[in-house]
Structure 1
Amino acid sequence: MKNLIGIDQDKAKALTSELNQLLADYQVFYQNLRGFHWNIKGREFFELHLKFEEFYNDAVIKIDEIAERILTLEGEPLHTFTAYVNHADIKEEKGITNGIEGVEIVVKNFATIILKEREILALAAEADDEGTVALMSDYISQTEKTLWMLNSYLQ
């Protein structure tokens, strides 16, 4: 049986489960980025304050897109902090004031996110879900470039 957009319902359900995992990771990542933005200190303050803001502004857009994709697939997006923390692989960070440590955590968080994006991409391709494939493809390209740049910053 297919859903409204022509995707097998069982495959759509599996996709929404994985997309909810990604949504939870992005929500915790977003909050980590806000904390880094607010609390960073030191010589890198000005550049990292702006960079963390850029990252959290991008994350909030992705959070909305992921939730809307879940709804398009006829699922229900997670929407409580408890659900986010319970489902996320990314862990909450607290008390980070060192810029380099913040960037290292961002790299680790992006590495977690890109693995999940690749898993979803493969599932979406198997389900002939071009909408999710396109979304994940765009995210992966952007995340790869960001990881390259952050790794260069840490060198």
Structure 2
Amino acid sequence: MKMNSLGLPIKQTQILVAELNILLSNFQIYYQNLRGLHWNIRGKRFFDLHLKFEELYNDSQLKIDLIAERVLTLGGTPLHTFEDYVRNKRIQVGKSISNDEEAIQLVIISLAELLKIERVILKQSGEIDDEGTNSMMSDFIKEQEKTIWMMKAWMEEEM
């Protein structure tokens, strides 16, 4: 089996890079959704949600950079065009959402979809002992599960 300079099998690493690019694409859609929610939210919860969406999109921007850098570390090229993002999107695009509950529901649904992609990557990275990717996915998953729990609590929904 051919290994790269990180000691990871080349073929499986290329598959992992493709999955990371799918995650990158979906994070870009999620980020843009959050920007739209931040700009368009209306109502009595405006001040709280305006700040929360800003916090979430700033966090997403950091994660986007981490994912792209991991793709580069593994020898790949991060996707970087809107065409690529749309082609790989698995989360819904939120357009002109101004209602608080509809906005929070979009965040919950989007995070749940990101978790699915991250769990595939976590499994693949574990199989090839790629601790760098594995650790990153574990951190993302833990944070996003907590955010979903908080959003569901806000919505007064059960997990």
TM-score after normalising by structure 1: 0.98
How far, CA to CA, are the matches of 1:95 and 1:142 in structure 2?
A: 27
Tell whether 2:42 aligns with 1:41.
yes
Q: CA deviation at 1:91?
A: 2.5
SS at match of 1:111: helix
Map 1:6-155 onto structure 2 (within 5 A).
Answer: 6-155=7-156
Q: Any unmatched runs of 5+ in structure 2?
A: none
Q: Which string of whole-angstrom CA distances, capped at 9 and with x for unpartnered residues, describes residues 8-27 of structure 1? A: 00110010010000000000
Residue aligning to 2:5: 4
Compute the RMSD of aligned alpha carbons. Answer: 0.6
Moved over 3 A (4+): none
How far, CA to CA, are the matches of 2:73 and 2:42 in structure 1?
A: 42
Q: CA deviation at 1:89?
A: 0.4
Task: Confirm or deny: 8 A CA contact 1:85 1:91 kept in the other structure.
Answer: no
Task: Confirm or deny: 8 A CA contact 1:2 1:9 kept in the other structure.
Answer: yes
Q: CA deviation at 1:3?
A: 1.1
The alignment-based identity, stated in percent, is 49
How far, CA to CA, are the matches of 1:88 and 1:63 in structure 2?
A: 14
Q: How many residues align?
A: 155
How far, CA to CA, are the matches of 1:90 and 1:134 in structure 2?
A: 23
How far, CA to CA, are the matches of 1:119 and 1:85 in structure 2?
A: 20
Q: Which string of whole-angstrom CA distances, capped at 9 and with x for unpartnered residues, describes residues 38-68 of structure 1? A: 0100011000000000000000000000000
